[in-house]
Amino acid sequence: MTTHPLRLKPGTVVVFEGLDQTGKSTQADRLRETLAPDSAAFLHLPTGATPFSNSVAELLESPTSRPATAFAIQLAHLSSHADTMPELARAAAHKGLVLDRWWWSTVAYGWFGGSLAETGISEGGFRELVNTVWRPIRPSIVFVFLHPHHPDPHNSDAVAAGYRALVNEDPQLAVFVAADTIANTQAFIAGELVKRELVLKAGKEA
């Protein structure tokens, strides 16, 4: 029988970030099993929380319908995030929130690993757009995964370097997740949440 020994404190935002095929979604699922169901909302991006954001995610996955330019692709992602943001803000206001990806993915893959600079937009201009959309959400902790279990065409050294640059901008926020077994990684993540006092034992109130 599945047990839920921990509760995420209301207002806590936990983010899983990093390269594709590194186990982020697996650990988000494991955390779901660990947390009391009513203590946290879960969302995997780019899939959103609204019909519009879900439709945008489907279009971006299709090679025949996705935008033709790198800038248009990133604007589509940001429009999806913007439509989802009110729902995320409501969830974070009343319970905990667990996100499988955050805006770091947009910058790591879209700027550091993409070709946005060739479109004429500056990094500062792009970051301003991203920050405007994501301003309502401030994570409590970001778990960063940089060790792929399988090759993925979306990953590159430039994307990994982008993540490291973002971590360096806010080192107290991020925790690097080492390559390990699923069970050991799950225990490590739960331990970090306990250490940072972001969770309560089930049955206790904040």
Give pLDDT tens digits for 96-114: 999 999 999 999 999 999 8
pLDDT band at 204 (very low <50, low <70, confident <90, very high): low
Greatest mean pLDDT range, 4-8, 68-72, 124-128: 124-128
Residue 136, classed as helix, strand or coil, is coil
Task: Answer for the pair 142, 173: CB distance below 8 angstroms, yes or no.
Answer: yes
Distance CA 89, CA 105 (A): 19
Task: Answer for the pair 148, 21: CB distance below 8 angstroms, yes or no.
Answer: yes
Tokens 């360096």 correspond to 168
Give pLDDT tens digits for 78-96: 999 999 999 999 989 989 9
**Per the structure block, which two tokens stand in for 96?**
């905990």
Q: pTM for the complete prediction? A: 0.92
Domain boundaries of the chain, sorted by first residue:
6-201
Give pLDDT tens digits for 147-180: 999 999 989 999 999 999 999 999 999 999 999 9
Mean residue pLDDT across the chain: 92
Instruction: Give the Å distances, CA to CA, from 26 to 13, 48, 75, 95, 147.
Output: 18, 18, 28, 22, 14
- Of the chain, the percentage scoring pLDDT greater than 90 comes to 75
Task: With residue 143 as reference, give the H or E element that holds it.
Answer: strand 141-145
What is the model's pLDDT at position 65? Answer: 86
Q: What architecture does CATH give domain 6-201? A: 3-Layer(aba) Sandwich (3.40)
What is the model's pLDDT at position 155? Answer: 93
How large is the greatest C-alpha to C-alpha distance in the chain, in angstroms? Answer: 55
Give pLDDT tens digits for 31-82: 999 999 999 999 998 887 899 998 998 888 888 888 888 899 999 999 999 9
Give pLDDT tens digits for 184-193: 999 999 999 9
What is the model's pLDDT at position 88? Answer: 92
